[in-house]
Amino acid sequence: MIVGGKMVLNQYGKILEEEILNTHIIRHGVNIPVFQIMPDHFHMILEISVGAHGNAPVQSGCGEISVQNLPVQNLGYIIRGIKMAVSTKLKIIGYQLQVWQRNYYEMIVRDESDYNRVVKYILNNPLKL
């Protein structure tokens, strides 16, 4: 529920919040510095450390990025892990309805300007409702 432009989490939202806050412990090399839980979705900036679980992307000769030894902790794997953990905890407390939509929206933050714009969007999202 949003009160005065701020999100007030119910018990279900608090389960998601706990999972997000513990992500850096549970998923090595993964950090979520900014997030916002909304009534029916959430936003986050997810950082995967270079070389978190494998080699970093390397620059090829023609200005393209190639990836060697893709990390186990790819974006889909991380999102799936968060969704599964939250769903499991919700079932334990008796919540039986489907929680998640099938996919997720992603974008790559390319520079500091992008980063600042996305942070502002995420943090101001409750003001839109």
Interval 25-70: pLDDT, tens: 988 889 999 999 999 999 999 998 865 444 444 444 444 444 444 4
Q: Cβ atoms within 10 A of the Cβ of 37, count? A: 20
- pLDDT value of residue 85: 96
- Percent over 90 (pLDDT), the chain: 56
Give the mean pLDDT of 100-126.
Answer: 92
- pLDDT value of residue 49: 82
Q: What is the mean pLDDT of the chain?
A: 84
Q: What domains appear along the chain, each with residue ranges and CATH number?
A: 2-128 (3.30.70.1290)
